[in-house]
Amino acid sequence: MIANAGLSVGTDPALEEDLSVLQEILDVNLCGMAKTFQPFIGGMKQARKGMLVGIASVAGYRGVPGTSAYCASKAAAIAYLESLRVELRESGVRVLTVCPGYIDTEMTTGNPYPMPFLMNAERAAAKVASAIERRREFVVIPWQMAAIAKLLRILPNAIFDRALSRTPRKPRRAR
């Protein structure tokens, strides 16, 4: 079972109306994944086989300005999938966390910032299929994004903050 829910729009934490956008993003990106998996987990456990594949994002590694809701939802998705992986390990049900970088979709169209290693959707899907076939537990695609994400994760806050404070923001949803 593959859960590939994703919603990303820019948010402004100073605006009360963006609290509902935050809630919507969490509902789709995290709760949507849980609601997709839930009907299948019992049967998979009983059969002692199956695989849950959750599409998270490298955005879950570190918070990026202007996309706080998206980053938070994908960080939560990574933790949720990790918990499931450990919880279901003895049952025979496998869990794969996929953290893509930038994929050329409607969600990335119009992003006002550089998108290194932008990958088309067909190539990304092939990489996910390969990870499933190889029975992986965690994969970042493309692999180059893993190096960037890990580097950003270990940067001291002062350097990270300076480097990203002036980056262009993802546009807010038109109301």
One-letter amino acid identity for 31?
C
Distance from C-alpha of 2 to C-alpha of 96, rounded to nearest angstrom: 9
Among 35-39, 69-73, 111-115, 122-126, the range scoring the smallest mean pLDDT is 111-115
Quick: pLDDT tens for 27-47: 999 999 999 999 999 999 999
CA pair distance 65, 121, nearest whole angstrom: 25
Between CA 164 and CA 58 the distance in angstroms is 16
Structure tokens at 125: 């899907």
First CA to last CA across the chain, in angstroms? Answer: 34
pLDDT reported for residue 175:
55
Q: Which two tokens stand for residue 142?
A: 């493309």
At 174, the pLDDT band (50, 70, 90 cuts) reads low
Is 2 a residue whose pLDDT tops 70?
yes
In 3D, which of 2, 94, 1, 96 has the Cα closest to residue 48? Answer: 94
Q: What is the pLDDT of residue 61?
A: 92
pLDDT at 56: 97
Residue 104: what pLDDT? 84
Q: Which of the residues 61, 70, 80, 102 is marked catalytic?
A: 70
* Distance between CA atoms of residues 53 and 99, nearest Å: 11
Do 147 and 93 touch, CB atoms closer than 8 A? no
Pairwise pLDDT comparison (64 vs 100), residue with the higher score: 100
Task: List the single range of 4-8, 23-27, 37-41 with lowest mean pLDDT.
Answer: 4-8
pLDDT surpassing 90 at residue 108:
no
Length of the chain: 175
Amino acid at 1: M
**70 classed as catalytic:** yes
Q: Where does the pLDDT of residue 25 fall: very low under 50, low under 70, confident under 90, or very high at 90 and above?
A: very high
Q: Is the pLDDT of residue 164 over 70?
A: yes
Instruction: Give the model's confidence band at 112: pLDDT under 50 very low, under 70 low, under 90 confident, else very high.
Output: low
Alpha carbons 2 and 100: distance in angstroms, whole number: 14
pLDDT, position 152: 87
Whether the pLDDT of residue 82 is over 90: the answer is: yes
| DSSP class of 172 | B
